[in-house]
Structure 1
Amino acid sequence: MTSSTPSNTSIPAWVGPFFALLFATWATFVHLGDFSLLSPDEGRNAEVAREMKVSGSWLVPTYDGATYLDKPAFFFKASALALKAFGDTEWAARLPSALSAWLWLMLLFAFCRRAYGPTTASLAVVVIALTPLFEAFARIVIFDMMLGLFVSSAILAAYRAGEVEGKARRHWYLLATLAAGLATLVKGPVGFLVPLLVMSVYHAVSGRRALIGSFFRLSHVLLFLAIVLPWFVGLSIACPDFPYYGIMKESIARFTTPEFRRTQPFYYYGLIIAGCFFPFSLILPAAIREGFRRSYRLHDADRLFVVWALVVVVFFSLSQSKLPGYILTGMVALGVLVARVLAQALEAHEEVARRV
């Protein structure tokens, strides 16, 4: 039996986004300081931040008083500021990661709302926040969540630049460059390599290869250097061994050699996705299939997220050093594809309900 009158029980449009954002806040901040720092990474990173706060040495990190050059100082600075503001607590040490996670979810919500609508945007926030890998890294003192925020900002800003023309395009590219520069300050060359690879492949498969050259315009290169060089030059002067150690050992050797004893088989990240994306990994094949189908027939943003996920997983699968957090940005892209499938199913259900 069909009804000719509209339902009076329809849910207001603001309810889904409101509860999605409320859930994001709960998932990233509640119980943040309820457990002790984990060994070895959290304890080491929090101690580096504490020593930075005490010594006031914001350029050269130290660990137990010795120079510590394994990672750039940007994340340590953020943690040191949090410790200075809120005291030497687990909550304060983890605040930069949690805040980065929350801002990342807000960024994805804003992008997906514009690209797909509020239903997909809300579901994307819930799916990603419920992903075990995302939830874990949002609550530990480690670089990957802040890196992911800036890498994703660079990718989404570069995508937006391709949608507009003139002065607006220049502004979006400058914003993408700014984000890539900050990502580099968080964790080194991977901060600009991942956005560059993702967007280059995206433009190539989209038939817009001319846009790849936009990344190398003089104004963009100069902005990137203005962000990165003061740190790099200053640290190189203070620690002459840093250029070799930071670039050759911590970046190139980590990727190309088994020196760091983190070698895993090529299919390692397939196992990580199956476990750390659960339960959404159960519907991931359908999400990827639908993403491929839509990417060439319906929506450019679907193509972006498919390319994004594949490039990240393949790139880090080629590395001789593999850790779960390396593919965090790729798993977030998969989360958006899953949200698209769930939103499609929900909208189909609502359409059936309206006809009954």
Structure 2
Amino acid sequence: MSAPDPASSPSRDALVPPFFTRWPAAIVLVLLCATVYLTALGSRPLWDGDEGLHAATSRDMVLTGNWITPYANGEPFFDKPAFFNWAVAASFELFGFTEFAARLPAALFGTACVLALWFFGSRMFDPLTGFFGAAALATSVQFVILSRTIVHDIALALFITLTLGSFFLAYRSPDDRRTPWMLAVYLFSGLGVLAKGPIGVLLPGMVVFLFLLFRRRLDFILRARLATGTLLFLAVAAPWYILIARQNPDYLQRFFLGTNFGYFFGNDTGAGHPQPWYHYIPALLGGMFPWSLALPGALWLGFRRSARPMSDAMLF
């Protein structure tokens, strides 16, 4: 059984205004997201190659009835899994072939990610921190762009958030309450793999491993419902990959060895993302604008408090 984390102590929660501890806070976040993400969502045409590509791929799913192999300009499209295209295709089925329908799934995934951050942040720290953290995410420049654009990344962001939040609650839960949250980890990481490939499990897996290593709690892995969880993960993630590999025998090699690991190692098949790893540092700071302006103050406060033991929530 884990000890209570001082970051979410009852005495601290008692100081939070009642509004932030109840569902009105979630309603305010939904209204904020609806205003920022849905306003004039379909008023402009598809504005870059990726938007046009993903919209056309999803439209072809509706027109051909083939929801297994994505096609772009008559050729199989192996760069991304089909999950996000399924969402866009379903939106086309409901609302027709419009720019609004094409972008609506991104807005919904973005809103769900904001609510997930509020939910987990409120439990990791306190309701006030959860609310303002979620509001900051909802209004950050890059997140607004992703929530108004036809790209797969917003679905990946949602499932990684759900995976990591579920893990932390599993880690903090007593043994008799851990299983539901632990199974949620496998469920959402499986959906992350469906959303954008192996990064959906490798990225949160790396975070979890480093956290447990730093806390000297690698033994927790043995209590992580590995057998049941792995079966659940495979039941979610594997069927579509099996089906598309049967239709396209070279798919697994091209997608995993070419598209994914090729991007990482910078070989010819992964040349679509030529930037070095440190490219993401200014990209992250710019993407979190205007809230990245608060980073110096946050680092200063963190330095002042560095002598105190770091809570599980802060480390995570």
The equivalent residue for 2:10 is none
- 1:88-107 superposed matches below 5 A: 88-107=97-116
Matched, 1:84 2:93: yes
Match of 1:297 in 2: 309
1:148 aligns with 2:153: no
**Aligned residue for 1:196?**
205
- The amino acid of 1:299's aligned partner reads S
Write the letter of the residue equivalent to 1:280.
Answer: W
Q: What do the CA deviations read for 1:128-159 (whole angstroms, capped 9, x no partner)?
A: 11211101000000000011101110111011
Judging changes above 3 Å, is the alpha-carbon distance between structure 1 residues 245 and 295 closer, same or farther for their aligned structure 2 residues?
A: farther
Match of 1:269 among 260, 280, 288: 280
Question: 1:283 is aligned with what amino acid?
Answer: A
Q: Percent identity?
A: 31
Look up the match of 2:220.
Answer: 211
The equivalent of 2:296 in structure 1 is 285
| 1:86–1:296 Cα change, 3 Å | farther
* 2-structure distance, mates of 1:252, 1:299: 35
Residues 170 and 179, structure 2, Cα contact 8 Å, conserved in 1: yes
TM-score normalized by the length of structure 1: 0.77
CA contact (8 A) 2:160 2:189 kept: yes
1:185–1:214 Cα change, 3 Å: farther
* Distance verdict in 2 for CA 1:261–1:83, change over 3 Å: closer
TM-aligned CA deviation for residue 85 of structure 1: 0.3
Unaligned runs of 5+ in 1: 1-10, 305-356
- Counterpart-to-counterpart distance in 2, 1:270 and 1:299: 25
Q: 1:254: Cα distance to partner?
A: 1.4
Instruction: Pick the aligned partner of 1:28 from 37, 60, 64.
Output: 37
Q: 1:125 to 1:25 in 2, by over 3 A?
A: farther
Render the CA deviation track for 1:289-323: whole Å, top value 9, x for unaligned. Answer: 5457479625321111xxxxxxxxxxxxxxxxxxx
Q: Which residue in the other structure is 1:160 paired with?
A: 169
Alignment match of 2:237 (pick from 228, 231, 235): 228
Letter in 1 for 2:177: A
Instruction: In structure 2, list runs of 5 or more residues that go unmatched.
Output: 1-15
Structure-2-length-normalised TM-score? 0.86
Aligned length: 294
From the superposition, tell whether residues 189 and 265 of structure 1 become closer, same or farther in structure 2 (CA, over 3 Å): closer
Q: In structure 2, how many angstroms separate the alpha carbons of the residues matched to 1:143 and 1:282?
A: 27
- Where 2:115 maps in the other structure, the secondary structure is helix
- Call closer, same or farther: CA 1:266–1:47 in 2, change over 3 Å: closer
Name the aligned partner's letter for residue 13 of structure 1: P
Which residue, out of 167, 172, 194, partners 1:185? 194
Stretches (4+) displaced over 6 A = none
Among candidates 16, 19, 25, match of residue 14 of structure 1: 19
For residue 259 of structure 2, what is the aligned residue in structure 1?
250
Pick closer, same or farther for the CA change 1:302–1:219 going to 2, 3 Å: same
Cα-Cα RMSD: 2.2
Specify the code of the residue in structure 1 equivalent to 2:315: R
Verify the 8 A CA contact 1:294 1:302 in the aligned structure 2.
no
Give the equivalent residue in structure 2 for 1:176: 185
Distance in 2 of aligned mates of 1:156 and 1:197: 14
Does the 8 Å contact 2:166/2:182 carry over to 1? yes
User: Residue 116 in 1 paired to residue 125 in 2?
Assistant: yes
Task: Quote the Cα distance in structure 1 between the aligned partners of 2:17 and 2:170.
Answer: 33
